[in-house]
Structure 1
């Protein structure tokens, strides 16, 4: 963690915190609002199921692959500079997204947004670390996280309302005044800082990570349309595996690895990152597919679907502090085993929603239980990851865990999309060939014209299978937490009881 500036006044620190919150709000609002708007985007741009997945995955791909190198770039070239570059890039790519006439151009814009987010997100956290001394960082990070929870509550409602009453493109236009305000505040209030000992960046690792993940996800996403035996699908899957193997080789041999493999010698670090992968896989899958279920099967408006996300953001925002104190008192193992299991229980409740369920009998119970489980797990998860490594490696450890969470979302949308398509096609019966079935799936998800009742029922069954798969992953995460989470949290190389 960076040394704090010793000569900053309280007012200066507050303005620096404001700048980081404003910059991070670009990603908080955009990400949460877009999920509810995806059905409308798919309809307006004539996008099929695979394109709808890529609108989400293009962003997660570049963000997950580059977030580690983004943090290292800030240390070397200046944290304020890299943060501002990320903000400006995010704003410019938001303009491209707002103007995109086709799904393909929107996907390209979303990929550029991911690059901007990979620069500004670690940049915001690094600026907080460089501004506030050790005894003030907890409150500063808490304020930053609380603002994220607030924007998380507002985002789905904004996205839903704009989809229903205006134009989903305004989701991207909102970013522009926020970005301008961020740049003005940062230039006036934020001093530059860097790590004078920082060395080179892991560009080979970044290229291999993007190439490997991109090829693998492309193969998984294209397979339902082209077939698993299509040369392009086979090539994508094999090429992705080969490139990811090359990434691991580069991290083992490179002089400046962005993901030092030595960290994984710790069973706690490895176990908690596997827990993160499974838990965020479950969460991301649920959040991606739930709006389609509520809007296309239950007949809700996009605004109504956005309101279904409120319990999750409210519980996370209001009770994260209490969950942290609970883990301090009873230990991380309890929170990291019970929390994921509770999240899985909430996912089962979402799977059991009947198509005619109202708000209370529908998403309220499932989202609330899932939110309680995630709230119990998230804080102790971060603390356990950072406590599993030596002092001086906590920033890298936290960054790796953040990247794992992003990649989990990327994998969730692709793999669960395969499951959704397979169950949907099977539900239509043998009388419908695969291309027609995929066309009907696209029509259901986009809400295009009249679709057969059987297709809507098949989508509901497919959604149930997706939620159950998410629940299984969350339950497995709880088992891993029970087996690997520490009973003691290690800080700065010293074991302390909890």
Structure 2
């Protein structure tokens, strides 16, 4: 490891460095959870089709998820501070430009660039921080990162609602941009430059094949709910993704110094970390989109009120990840993570039964989910970089975040597709029973797509003779079924994590 001269004493430098990494970690979930709340406000201001509005969320996830492995390798090769600094600066500039765009399509395009910048910033930050700490000190530092990431998720919806209500939806982007500007100055002042001394340059064939393959995979899955899984564009995207990812494997097997060391997949702990990366997508992240949309579009709450209600779900992530980091000193991290996922599964099942009642029970269920997911959240970032040699921390952070963000994108698209299909099935059953007022199948399809986005007004516009009561009945039944599926997925993942990592000695 090489480093530049440091003008600030280490004891003074490390605390601001952790705070800067926390600031970086905070703006990334703000850029996922915040826009999910303000989609209705953006639609009212700029219009936009269903697809364009959906890509307000998915565009960021697509590029962030697909570029993180390449960003991590870039950090190891060309410098962790440099990658962090450039990524944060680009993130600030792009995010600041978003509110001034004339259409949703332009915002979608900038969100793609914003995701690339976030990938570079976060991969650089995690790799840089890994060089500063070892052992339990590293676990504690990364638990603070997890807590901050949780804080961004916890207050993202509420803050987005508050900013929209008081200042306008534009500030949901302007505030993270200003925080990113602050982070740029702090990185320049306190971070030191390090890189992998054995790096011989970026593995460009590997980087291009993996990034393009994963991007096409996410793109195909995201596109499928609207166009159908048999659509030529979806099939072409998925087939191209498989071909590129297979090419990536062949490329890496032939490289003396691969971007991703595939031999690591023989290590149960490494595999367990990647499985753990996906778990929050189904147990938590999808709820950051589904629930605010429901509160606003179905229950008629304001963006501010919806954000306030979401604190019940995300609030525990302010505290639990830090507690998990402390517990990891005595409890095996695999066991701790599996326990958390089982708790989250119970909360999801409870939420399915209590969501429509609008009583305190649903908020308690949301809190149980937050507590459960907070346990693995507090240890998984540190765990991700502890399963490889310190010099390759960028690679470890990159593959972990690639899997995590790809999981988020695929989970959001899959859940959207499942909800839409379930709602369409319910509407077709109602139509067969003569309850839809003679609606055509095309109207049923359009209504199911809007219902999956919790937009009751647009769904009623396509089925005016069906009535709100029928649409609500179909919507509630589909959402209950979906939450039960998510609970089952969380419980199954808990078992897999315990089998892979829940052994003594794998702390």
Q: Tell me which interval the TM-score lies in, with the shorter structure as reference length.
A: 0.7 to 0.9
- Give the TM-score, by structure 1 length: 0.87
Question: Would the aligned equivalents of 2:281 and 2:408 in 1 still touch at CA under 8 Å?
Answer: yes
**SS, match of residue 23 in structure 2:** helix
**SS, match of residue 355 in structure 1:** helix
Q: In the alignment, which residue of structure 2 is the partner of 1:21?
A: 22
Question: Would the aligned equivalents of 2:213 and 2:245 in 1 still touch at CA under 8 Å?
Answer: yes
Would you say how many aligned residue pairs link Structure 1 and Structure 2? 489
Q: In the alignment, which residue of structure 1 is the partner of 2:302?
A: 301
- Superposition deviation, residue 235 in structure 1: 2.0
Structure-2 change in CA distance of 1:355 and 1:4 (3 Å): farther
Structure-2 change in CA distance of 1:236 and 1:386 (3 Å): closer
Structure-2 change in CA distance of 1:95 and 1:390 (3 Å): closer
- Superposition deviation, residue 49 in structure 1: 4.1
Q: In the alignment, which residue of structure 2 is the partner of 1:419?
A: 418
Q: In the alignment, which residue of structure 1 is the partner of 2:443?
A: 436
Q: In the alignment, which residue of structure 2 is the partner of 1:211?
A: 212
Q: In the alignment, which residue of structure 1 is the partner of 2:98?
A: 97
Q: In the alignment, which residue of structure 2 is the partner of 1:159?
A: 160
Distance 1:380 1:21 in 2: 15
Does 2:410 match 1:402? no
- Superposition deviation, residue 62 in structure 1: 1.3
Structure-2 change in CA distance of 1:341 and 1:3 (3 Å): farther
Distance 2:393 2:334 in 1: 20
Does 2:319 match 1:318? yes
**SS, match of residue 124 in structure 2:** helix
Q: In the alignment, which residue of structure 1 is the partner of 2:275?
A: 274
Question: Would the aligned equivalents of 1:28 and 1:151 in 2 still touch at CA under 8 Å?
Answer: yes
Q: In the alignment, which residue of structure 2 is the partner of 1:487?
A: 503
**SS, match of residue 282 in structure 2:** helix
**SS, match of residue 258 in structure 2:** coil
Q: In the alignment, which residue of structure 2 is the partner of 1:462?
A: 478
- Superposition deviation, residue 265 in structure 1: 0.8
Distance 1:261 1:14 in 2: 35
- Superposition deviation, residue 117 in structure 1: 0.6
Distance 1:170 1:383 in 2: 32
- Superposition deviation, residue 75 in structure 1: 2.8
Moved more, 165-174 or 47-56: 47-56
Q: 1:364-404 CA distances to partner (integer Å, 9 max, x unpaired)?
A: 12221112211233345456655655665565334422321
Moved more, 69-78 or 427-436: 427-436
Structure-2 change in CA distance of 1:346 and 1:219 (3 Å): same
Greater than 6 Å deviation, 4+ residue runs:
1-7
**SS, match of residue 9 in structure 2:** coil
Provide the aligned C-alpha RMSD in A. 3.0
Superposed counterparts of 1:316-395, under 5 Å = 316-358=317-359, 360-362=360-362, 364-381=363-380, 388-389=387-388
Moved more, 284-293 or 373-382: 373-382
Q: 1:269-306 CA distances to partner (integer Å, 9 max, x unpaired)?
A: 22442243244333222222121122222222222221
- Give the TM-score, by structure 2 length: 0.86
Structure-2 change in CA distance of 1:95 and 1:82 (3 Å): same
Structure-2 change in CA distance of 1:14 and 1:321 (3 Å): closer
Structure-2 change in CA distance of 1:374 and 1:88 (3 Å): same
